[in-house]
Structure formats: structure tokens, C-alpha cells
Amino acid sequence: MTRNDLSTSGTARRVLNKVPEITIYFWVIKVLATTVGETFADWLTETLGMTLTAATVVVGALLVATLVAQFRASRYVAPIYWLAVVLISVVGTLITDNLVDVVGVPLWVTTVVFAVALGITFAVWYRVEHTLSIHSITSTRREAFYWLAILFTFALGTAAGDLLAEGLALGYLASALLFAAAIAAVAAAHYWFRLGAVLSFWIAYILTRPLGASIGDLLSQSKADGGLGLGTTTTSVIFLAAIAITVVFLTVTQRDVETVEADDLDDLDDLDELAGESAR
């Protein structure tokens, strides 16, 4: 378990997780990142003229380097974490696009395959660690499960979003509204009908990916194709700037750092020992 003693109103506090606390800022950046994942992937191939394979290799290499930094960090560091999320969003989009456009795999097949892969990841994760809560990402093994699940959620979201908007000809706006309504339903089920926090989180996390993909396509695609015609460059720049501003704000304010009171440190010492044994 990672530690970082802070001073807040004279009370010692400690960082718990390698991931941020779930606040409104988390969901705002998540949606922004998923949108960038769609538009930036298109920018690489359409504007820069890179092949899907080349773009996947380049962004994949950047993702690996960022994840190495993320795993080596002793605590949650907002710029590293969110850079990893943005890059994994782009990679997830490129993986799905490669399978569909290069290999020729139908969208419904990629949707099913990634849904099954995500389900298997969750099953193994729970079998090994007995929890899927992101409030317990306190060992290297749990962090590995976490990022693998994140990758599959992005690939699945890209496939599902494209399947509805393009494969089923629902359109970008209608798809975005549909996924937004689904997320609202999950939130209502959690707050009013006591749907479990872990289950609510992962369902919402999965749904934000196709929501972001639909928003990205709606903004960037030409009006002839059902979009608003902003283009991939403009859309990517706007959303990347919004992410950067929010991450800088969080880095300065530490509002998404999960901490506990000093009175709980004895309990955390026991958890530290268990986490160390789990990692070994």
C-alpha cells in the first residue's frame, strides 16, 4: 500500500490508492478522455495519414512507457494517471478499428469478444483478489487487473458505440443520448434503489466509453455523415485542453486524492502487511 503523509487542518492523513477518488472531476475527465480517444485516433489516421497498424504501435509504445511510470509511482499522481487513461482510450479505439477495418471482423463480433474478455478479466480478478473495488488498488497485481479491465472497457465501448451509431444506423446524436440515459439510469439505481457501489461504478465506466465515442464522432464528423463538422483536429485540441486544465487543477488542489484520518493508521498498518503478502 502506498503512503504519503499530508497535513490537512493539522491532522495527519495518508494516501491510500494508486487511482483517484471518485468525484465529479473523475467522471468529467473520463468522458473527455473517451471523446479524445475517438477523435485523436481518427486524427492520426485521417489527418496525419498513418496506417491503423502504425498508429497502434506508436501510441501503444507511449502507453507502455506511461504505464511503467504509473506502476513505479509510489502514490497516485494525477498527470501520470490521466495520461495513461487518455492513451489507453486511443489504443482501445485503434485496436477495435484495426479488427474492423483491417482484419474485417464485424462490429457485433468485436463487441461480443471484448465483452467476454472484460467479463473474464473481472471473474479472474475477483477470484484472485475477492474484490473489484477501485478503492483497494493497493498492490501491483490489483493494479495490473485494473488497467487490463480499463483497456477492455475502452475497446468494448468503441465497438458498441460504432455498432449502434453506424452498424445499426442509429446516428451519433441518438447514440449519445441513449448512452447518457443509460448512465443516468445506473446513477438512479445506485442512489435510489441501492445498487451496489462497485457494480454501479463499473457499469457507468463501461457506458461512458461509447458515450464519449458518440460525442466525439458527433462533433468531428462532417455534416453529410451526421456530425457537426468540427473536424478531428479542433475537437481533439478542445478536449485535450480541457483535460489538461482539469488535471492541473487537481494536481494543485489534491481534491481527488483519497486519504484517511491518522486515527485509522493502525488499521492501515495491518492492511499494508496484507497487501505486501498479496504482492509477493
Q: What is the pLDDT of residue 169?
A: 79
Q: What is the pLDDT of residue 75?
A: 86
Distances (CA, A) of 199 to 2, 43, 120, 131, 136: 25, 34, 15, 11, 15
Q: What is the pLDDT of residue 166?
A: 77
Q: What is the pLDDT of residue 263?
A: 43
Q: What is the pLDDT of residue 135?
A: 84
pLDDT over threshold 60, residue 269: no
Between residues 217 and 87, which one has the greater pLDDT?
87
Average pLDDT over residues 226-241: 91
Q: What is the pLDDT of residue 175?
A: 86
- What distance in Å separates the CA atoms of residue 280 and residue 277, rounded to the nearest whole number? 5
Tens of pLDDT, residues 76-104: 999 999 999 999 999 998 998 899 989 99
Nearest to 148 by CA among 175, 114, 177, 174: 114
Nearest to 200 by CA among 213, 188, 209: 188
pLDDT over threshold 70, residue 227: yes
pLDDT over threshold 60, residue 270: no
Give the start-to-end residue ranges of the domains of the chain: 5-264
Grid cell listed for 165: 451509431
Query: What is the phi-psi region of residue 254: left when phi exceeds 0, alpha when psi lies from -120 to 50, beta otherwise?
Result: left
Q: What is the pLDDT of residue 274?
A: 43
Nearest to 159 by CA among 80, 211, 93: 93
Q: What is the pLDDT of residue 5?
A: 37
Average pLDDT over residues 145-167: 88
- 201 within 8 A of 136, measured Cβ to Cβ: no
- What distance in Å separates the CA atoms of residue 210 and residue 215, rounded to the nearest whole number? 8
Average pLDDT over residues 33-53: 91
Tens of pLDDT, residues 174-198: 888 999 999 999 999 999 998 999 9
pLDDT over threshold 50, residue 15: no
Q: How confident is the model at residue 16 (pLDDT cuts 50, 70, 90)?
A: low
pLDDT over threshold 70, residue 158: yes
Average pLDDT over residues 123-143: 91
- What distance in Å separates the CA atoms of residue 191 and residue 73, rounded to the nearest whole number? 34
Between residues 213 and 148, which one has the greater pLDDT?
148
Q: How confident is the model at residue 275 (pLDDT cuts 50, 70, 90)?
A: very low
Q: How confident is the model at residue 114 (pLDDT cuts 50, 70, 90)?
A: very high
Q: How confident is the model at residue 160 (pLDDT cuts 50, 70, 90)?
A: confident
Q: How confident is the model at residue 164 (pLDDT cuts 50, 70, 90)?
A: confident
pLDDT over threshold 60, residue 147: yes
